[in-house]
Amino acid sequence: MDNNIMGRAMLAGWASYGVNLEKITDNFDIYISVPEHSEHVNVNGEEMAGNFLASRIQRTLREQTKKKIIIKYRIRIGENWTKKMGDEAILKSLKETDSLYFLEDLI
């Protein structure tokens, strides 16, 4: 699969859960933010927000990349992520391409 297409799919999926890609350094240090709470719950009943969501993103990126990366995150305190917010974030992420260039080098 083309890295650009895979990158778009990954970013759209993360965006649906409220993950914001905030900054990427030249050394591939990645800064993200996640909502404190969410309507999204995984198959095990775990809320897809806060520390749990950030840990999932960190693990996924580390498993799928070929470079050593550092992932830092912050929790957006007081934010409750909804399905509507997720749908809007998916559309927005599919229109943006700036964040994709780093993924091409990582995967």
pLDDT tens-digit profile, the chain (107 residues): 445 566 667 777 888 999 998 888 888 788 999 999 999 999 999 999 999 999 998 888 888 777 777 889 999 999 999 999 998 988 887 776 555 444 555 54
Q: Could you give the count of Cα atoms lying within 13 Å of 10 in the half-sphere of its Cβ? A: 24
- The residue segments making up the domain with residue 70 are 3-106
Spell 36-68 as b/e; 16+ CB within 10 A means b.
Answer: bbbbbeeeeeebbbbeebbebbbeebeeebeee
Residue matched to tokens 């693990």 = 59
pLDDT at residue number 99: 52
Question: What sign does the dihedral 91-71-22-45 (CA atoms) show?
Answer: positive
Q: How many separate domains does the chain show?
A: 1
pTM beyond cutoff 0.85? no
